[in-house]
């Protein structure tokens, strides 16, 4: 394992802001991971694991520790729909490979940037699927125990955009491999309303067609990273869809000037509902294209903040706070940031 010094981090993230890593290394094997953990511990330095950088924000002062970029590759077919995938593999590349081979279970998550190892951490999801539905287990280095561990789906404690890895015990585990359980010859998942509408009544739509359609939808919303696109510098959805008590629907409707029935929401049980953050932003005045500075809202998707060029982390914080405060003042709902801040 080779350690370098003062490596710029902004180019390694899709948002493109932030300073340098004091120390930087690349992990191409589990042995590299164990060595990096020991190297940082010996010097009493913080350690941050970097994947594809698609859901990451770096502070302007950079990171005063060791940044370990995960590049463990490999896709192993275990048979009967089971695959072991290295944490450094491209997520979209893995999805396309499964789609081409006729394995269902991840087709609606096509076009999501980043690496495989980051998907269980955030429990990523899109268009009717969550990655936790396809995960059988996760292999990771347990920094507390000082050894590698196999964590079952239940042990990962998956919830909406959360897992054991980012909530409860953040930083304890370094994901090195994910085992997926997919459906050989299975039908595409068509739960999401917009996707169902695009597909129409044809129930025989192929996995490949669905994946292609998902990418088209994502691109139309500025959620597909395309080389040369002016709005490529984004971390995707910047705010989580808030979960509130069902009693909040009435005051939200009143603030928005609509009937309660017109407030879009989804029941998640136990008297709680999920509201679309994009709907709240728009009715609080934060519409597509909003903002005239270095950072603003995407012209294609209300939830995406875009670095228009030359932005800093401080610029992002200012814009984020203005939006969060505006939605709070309008609806009494505090939005939460979805991207991770390197710390």
Q: Cβ-count burial of 16 within 10 angstroms (0-12 exposed, 13-18 middle, 19+ buried)? A: buried
CA 320 to centroid of chain Cα atoms: 18
DSSP 298: -
Task: Identify which of 85, 300, 50 has the alpha carbon closest to the alpha carbon of residue 176.
Answer: 85
Which residues, other chains included, contact 324 with Cβ-Cβ below 8 Å and sequence gap of 6+?
A: 239, 334, 335
Contact 20, 48 (CB under 8 A): no
- For 195, phi then psi, to 5°, come to -70, -45
Phi, psi values for residue 69, rounded to 5°: -85, 125
**Rounded Cα–Cα distance for residues 209 and 191 (Å):** 15
φ and ψ at residue 13, rounded to 5 degrees: -125, 155
Question: What values do phi and psi take at 300, rounded to 5?
Answer: -115, -25
Whether the Cβ atoms of residue 304 and residue 297 lie closer than 8 Å to each other: yes
Q: Are 333 and 244 in contact (CB under 8 A)?
A: yes
Dihedral sign, Cα of residue 58, residue 62, residue 63, residue 67: positive
Cβ-proximal residues to 254 (8 Å cutoff; 6+ apart), any chain? none
Sheet holding 295-297, edge to edge: 234-237, 304-307, 295-297
Active site amino acids: 161, 237, 338
- 107, 125, 112: which is closest to 54 by C-alpha? 112
């Amino acid at each position: 394992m080779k350690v370098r010094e003062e490596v710029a981090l902004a180019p390694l993230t899709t948002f493109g802001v932030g300073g340098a890593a004091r120390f930087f290394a690349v992990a191409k094997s589990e042995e590299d991971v164990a060595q990096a953990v020991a190297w940082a511990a010996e010097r009493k330095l913080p350690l941050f694991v970097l994947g594809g950088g698609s859901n990451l924000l770096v502070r302007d002062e950079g990171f005063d520790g060791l940044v370990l970029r995960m590049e463990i590759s490999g896709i192993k077919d275990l048979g009967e729909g089971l695959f072991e995938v290295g944490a450094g593999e491209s997520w979209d590349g893995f999805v396309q490979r499964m789609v081409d081979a006729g394995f269902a279970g991840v087709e609606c998550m096509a076009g999501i940037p980043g690496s495989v190892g980051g998907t269980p951490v955030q429990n990523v999801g899109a268009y009717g699927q969550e990655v936790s539905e396809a995960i059988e287990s996760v292999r990771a280095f347990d920094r507390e125990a000082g050894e590698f561990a196999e964590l079952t789906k239940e042990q990962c404690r998956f919830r909406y955009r959360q897992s054991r890895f980012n909530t409860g015990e953040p930083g304890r585990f370094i994901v090195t491999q994910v085992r997926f359980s997919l459906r050989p010859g299975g039908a595409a998942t068509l739960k999401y309303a917009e996707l169902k509408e695009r597909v129409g009544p044809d129930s025989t739509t192929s996995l490949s067609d669905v994946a292609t359609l998902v990418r088209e939808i994502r691109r139309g919303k500025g959620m597909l990273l395309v080389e040369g696109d002016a709005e490529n510098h984004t971390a995707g959805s910047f705010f989580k869809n808030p979960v509130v008590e069902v009693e909040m629907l009435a005051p939200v409707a009143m603030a928005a000037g609509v009937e309660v029935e017109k407030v879009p929401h989804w029941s998640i049980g136990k008297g709680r509902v999920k509201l679309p953050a994009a709907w709240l932003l728009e009715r609080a005045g934060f519409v597509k294209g909003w903002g005239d500075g270095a950072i603003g809202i995407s012209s294609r998707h209300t939830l995406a903040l875009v670095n228009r060029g030359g932005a800093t982390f401080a610029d992002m914080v200012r814009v984020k706070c203005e939006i969060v405060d505006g939605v709070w003042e309008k609806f009494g709902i505090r939005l939460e940031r979805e991207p991770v801040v390197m710390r």
